[in-house]
Structure 1
Amino acid sequence: MDENSHPLVKAALIHAQFESIHPFSDGNGRLGRILIVLYFVQSKLISQPIFFVSEELERERLRYYDLLNGVRGDQPDWSSWVLFFLTACHRMADKISTKLDAADKLAMDGLRRCQTESEKKVWVYTFSDPHTTVKKVSTQLKIAPSTARSALNALATKGLLYSDKQTKRNKKYVNYDLLGVLT
């Protein structure tokens, strides 16, 4: 492997080589796919482990295993494997990009419906903590619990967040629209 190769190509080769040595009696596939993400982080292709190409590899499981097996033996077919891996990465990147665009649209639509600065701050906060409480919002945003409660309730009234109506204490607020976009 050329050290100057693109990190995506290196990840394809590293993954195939790890799967070829099959060092453990169980869990090689899972660990091999986790190593892809860790290599992407180490290579600074991603800053957080959110890019799981394994989802796309598993989607074409038969082809995935066939092409992995094709890099073994006397006449390994590395180009077919690398092309498959890069195509899977491209599909995963497209999927993530679509989700991020939808989350951005959701955030902007919600901000337009917010009437106070507190509501705006809390609404944006729910994108980092979609299952939240008054205490968490108050602590993280450094605002009074009463301000957090008021903003969360206003967002729930507007239908931006969900909170069950029976709970009176330690109420949870959920940004189900965001969770729907991300899953």
Structure 2
Amino acid sequence: MNAEQEILDEDVDPILKTAIIHAQFESIHPFLDGNGRLGRIVIVLYLIQAKVIASPIFFVSEELERERMRYYDLLNGTRGNHPDWASWLTFFLKACERMAEKLNTKLDSAEKLAINGLKECEKDSEKKVWMYTFHNPNTTASAAANALNLSANTVRAALNALTAKELLFTDRHTKRNKKYKNYELLRILS
């Protein structure tokens, strides 16, 4: 081993491990089709296993794909007799940072929407239903009633009040089985 080589031990940060795992998986290219998709899924699965994230919401692949040419160049640079791991790891970490910032911005916007909506709610049932739409932004009265353990009539009244306050939207021409949408939240999350 020469002085330029560095060894990472098993206790290295899980995000660095993820970057290495992804590069190694892509290097062996084990399947005829789907290696890229599976390699990006492995990123999320490892981050869940390492308890870095609790659910699959952190898709660094979105950031990797945004700079696709650089991504492939740096990924290919980890191969051969003189691999450049430092450039790949730096790129991967910066992509993770951009993705985390993007998610934090979305979460902050969703929190602000929730708080502002709660200020417009007059009844407890409206508050409960409003907050439920952050779990299920495309809902019906029966789905919300079942989830919240409230009567369908109470939930329907709350949904209609939230629609009147323009917090939710529903098709005014549909009479039965109306769907209610929290479009502001959906816009934030898209």
Same fold at TM > 0.5: yes
The one-letter amino acid of 1:174's match is K
Of 119, 122, 126, which aligns to 2:133? 126
User: Counterpart of 1:115?
Assistant: 122
User: Counterpart of 1:105?
Assistant: 112
Of 122, 137, 140, which aligns to 2:144? 137
In the alignment, is residue 172 of structure 1 matched against residue 172 of structure 2?
A: no
User: Counterpart of 1:160?
Assistant: 167
Secondary structure of 1:71 counterpart: coil
The one-letter amino acid of 1:107's match is A
- How far apart are residue 103 of structure 1 and its match? 0.2
Of 8, 12, 17, which aligns to 1:5? 12
User: Counterpart of 1:70?
Assistant: 77
User: Counterpart of 1:21?
Assistant: 28
CA distance in 1, matches of 2:78, 2:187: 39
Of 37, 40, 55, which aligns to 1:33? 40
Give structure 2 stretches of 5+ with no counterpart.
1-7
Secondary structure of 2:170 counterpart: coil
CA distance in 2, matches of 1:73, 1:23: 18
CA distance in 1, matches of 2:49, 2:101: 22
CA RMSD of aligned residues (A): 0.5
Secondary structure of 1:169 counterpart: coil
User: Counterpart of 1:88?
Assistant: 95
1:150-177 superposed Cα distances (whole Å, 9 cap, x missing partner) = 0000000000000000000000000000
Q: What is the percent sequence identity of the aligned residues? A: 63
User: Counterpart of 2:3?
Assistant: none
1:47-82 superposed Cα distances (whole Å, 9 cap, x missing partner) = 000000000000000000000000000000000000
Give structure 1 stretches of 5+ with no counterpart.
none
The one-letter amino acid of 2:112's match is K
Of 29, 46, 49, which aligns to 1:42? 49
CA distance in 2, matches of 1:179, 1:149: 21
CA distance in 2, matches of 1:59, 1:152: 39
- How far apart are residue 2 of structure 1 and its match? 1.5
1:28-52 superposed Cα distances (whole Å, 9 cap, x missing partner) = 0010000000000000000000000
Count of residues paired in the alignment: 183
